[in-house]
Amino acid sequence: MSRVSLEGQVVVVTGGARGVGELLARKLSARGARIALVGLEPGELKRVCDRLHTDGDWWHADVADHEAMSRVAAEVKERFGKADVVVANAGVAAGGPFTDSDPVAWRRVVEVNLVGGAVTGRAFLPVLLESRGYFLQIASLAAITPAPMMSAYCASKSGVEAFAHCLRAEVAHRGVRVGVGYLSWTDTDMVRGADQDDVMRELRQRLPWPANRTYPLGPAVDRLVAGIERRSPHVYAQGWLRGMQAVRGYLPGLIATVGQRDMRRFEPRLAGVTKGLVGAGGAADEQARAGRD
């Protein structure tokens, strides 16, 4: 597919305070895009914005709040005149057995990842229809294969993948393209936060290669940038993820067989698994919600 120049284009990135969102914003800016950042950490968003190569701005908003995101979409259009690309990247994660999980944290993973992606799409689609733009929903390896101890994250990422596929069929005839971005374990605050739990880290290390590796952030984001330039329907941050699509139908049965063995092995230690949101982004989300209560 031919590439679209990002020079002068306006790109909205949710979850832009750190990790994938931060580096994606910086790399898109280096290619000439103007950047609108959305997230829950004003100080971090300002820091990222100040390091951009081009014109940028930031908005403090919860991606699961429809009224807030509608306001952001209107203000982005007023500030920049348009939006050409929207990347629904904001995400949080929680681990541990479903039966012992914190119901508030479990629900919040679905709210941010799935509902937040849909709310972002709903808020910005009128602007994207005007620009005949591109909506990229960030999913995960977790959308392709289920995994024990990750029920909320897998459910939410499977959901956003399905949402994006549905949306693509609905808006293609109106000139808007929709893509799904897939990432395996990538070196971010979220993954490092999950690895602080001994059981979660050991479970991940027992996955078959290449799913048991943590991949560097830079090359993964480079692939996302290339996907945005091509307006790709599928973007794979690690090349081997493309091959997973061909075998995904066999994975639930395989994971069920292997997973029950691992769960039996780790059962004496499961009570100590962290039950809240993981990583610095998870802590920021919890702090922001506590401030609203």
Close Cβ partners of 208 (under 8 Å, ≥ 6 residues apart)? none
Helix 251-266 to helix 198-205 angle (10° resolution) is 140
Tell me 277's DSSP state. Answer: B
Altogether, the residues listed in the chain come to a count of 293
User: Catalytic residue among 134, 153, 182, 236, which?
Assistant: 153
- Six-digit token string for 141: 């390896």
How far apart CA 224 and CA 243 sit, in angstroms, is 17
How far apart CA 147 and CA 111 sit, in angstroms, is 20
Count of CB atoms within 10 A of residue 267's CB? Answer: 10
| Angle at 245 (CA atoms; ends 242, 250), nearest 5 degrees | 140
Q: How many angstroms separate the Cα of 93 from the Cα of each of 149, 151, 210, 281?
A: 11, 10, 21, 9
How far apart CA 186 and CA 195 sit, in angstroms, is 12
Order the strands of the 85-88 sheet from edge to edge: 56-60, 34-39, 10-14, 85-88, 134-138, 177-182, 234-236
Active site residue 182: no
Query: What residues act catalytically?
Result: 153
